[in-house]
Amino acid sequence: MTRLSDYCTESEWAKIKNFSEGKETPFLVVDLDIIKQKYDELMNCFPMAKIHYALKANPGAPVIETLRDMGSNFDIASIFELNKVLDSGVSPDRISYGNTIKKAAHVRYAYERGVRLFATDSKADLQNIGENAPGSKIFVRILVEGGETAEWPLSRKFGCHPDMAIDLLVQAKGLGLVPYGISFHVGSQQRDIAVWDAALSKVKYMFDWMRYEENVELKMINMGGGFPANYISEVNPINVYAEEILRYLHDDYGDELPEIILEPGRSLVGESGVLVSEVVLISRKSRTDLKRWVYVDVGLFQGLIETLGESIKYPLYCEKMDQQGGEKAGSVVLAGPTCDSTDIMYEQVSYALPHNLAVGDRIYWLTTGAYTNSYSSVEFNGFPPLKTYFLP
Ligand SMILES: *Cc1c(COP(=O)(O)O)cnc(C)c1O
């Protein structure tokens, strides 16, 4: 069972706990102080990097404003995210358009609002950018390995082979664009640091090819996201990621590193959130069934979609875990409140909860600041979207 102290300090817990008292569940509480800490920590680990927060992880206005004040840049995937960031008073030179799939009208809109840094991974998209965002800087996203060791892999949907990426960078110049750099994403919640090494060696090969064969100096490496948040499975701390990744970079480029961009989502905001839920029903499927089914008032459709395939394993806490004085816990299946049979969070992965757990008890889902409220459905079965409170 979860030890709270593995996930937050006593005062952090007290802040969330006090705020949550008496409020109707379910809801997400986001502690903005933790986002500030995580931002500082990442900047200390990568002092030369520019951070472009990947908005989709948690697009709440208070999150944008907090990161804006910390000096962060932003990576957006749609004009709707763009508007949110601009509305928060962030200037367009702090924004990259990182989605490689975009309508011509949206490229034009972003360009008119001042965005000048675009990702691409295909010829058609590149032409689209050339026509609608003339003179902009282009970075090409390459396909990299890492799917097996990421807990939330990004499939082959994005990125292209390095040889094709080189073609695109060459064509960019012909289209009046600036071939600026290369990006990759090794998969979210990436546990194997070595995949950055493999990705960076592809990038180095491309930098050299562009310089010696095409006479183009690339300026920037965008290493994407993938840095971990603290869930149940063990991961290395961020400083270990940084030490290794910086060593790979210095091996390749010596002291003269290119401009480095990071696009963290999960690692910046994941640990800032606690999702507070309540037990609705406890049952067994037969009189002698060892496993209890515990149904709570949140599920895959109110923000826990990353439990799909039991991928992300959130730490769970309930107060009776501490009060038990020796009483044993038993294994449970955890499911949500909707009438959809996929709405089961954990069945194969074994979670244990106290035997005296009762209807009405609160279950706290820790490390739920990323990819929860942004994924919540608008009214499946009539359940409202996940309510989110942001604590200054
Ligand atoms: C989602 C996404 C990120 C954030 O990834 P995390 O693993 O959450 O840090 C970064 N860059 C791009 C292009 C993304 O799509």
Check pocket membership of 50 for ligand 1, CB cut-off 6 A. Answer: no
**Mean pLDDT (10-residue bins), the chain, 392 residues:** 89 97 98 98 98 98 98 98 98 98 98 98 98 98 93 87 97 97 97 96 97 97 98 96 98 96 98 98 93 97 97 95 73 97 96 95 98 97 97 97
Q: What are phi and psi of 123, to 5 degrees?
A: -65, -40
**Hey, what are 196's tokens?**
């950055």
State residue 383's pLDDT score: 97
State residue 324's pLDDT score: 57
Q: Best of 118, 149, 152, 185 to mutate for ligand 1, by most ligand atoms within 8 A of CB? A: 185
Ligand 1 atom at shortest distance from the alpha carbon of 190: 7
* Distance from Cα 39 to the centre of ligand 1, integer Å: 15
Check pocket membership of 264 for ligand 1, CB cut-off 6 A. Answer: yes
Ligand 1 atom at shortest distance from the alpha carbon of 98: 13
Kind of pairing between the strands at 49-54 and 329-335: unpaired
In this structure, are residues 218 and 256 in contact, taking their beta carbons and an 8 Å threshold? no
State residue 65's pLDDT score: 98
**Residue 151 vs residues 8, 25, 222, 230, 255: alpha-carbon distances, Å:** 22, 28, 21, 12, 33
CA torsion through residues 89, 94, 96, 102, sign: positive
Q: What are phi and psi of 193, to 5 degrees?
A: -65, -25
* Distance from Cα 56 to the centre of ligand 1, integer Å: 8
Cα Rg, the chain, nearest whole Å: 22
Check pocket membership of 185 for ligand 1, CB cut-off 6 A. Answer: yes
Check pocket membership of 266 for ligand 1, CB cut-off 6 A. Answer: yes
Q: What domains does the chain contain, in order, with CATH numbers? A: 32-269 (3.20.20.10), 270-391 (2.40.37.10)
Ligand 1 atom at shortest distance from the alpha carbon of 270: 8
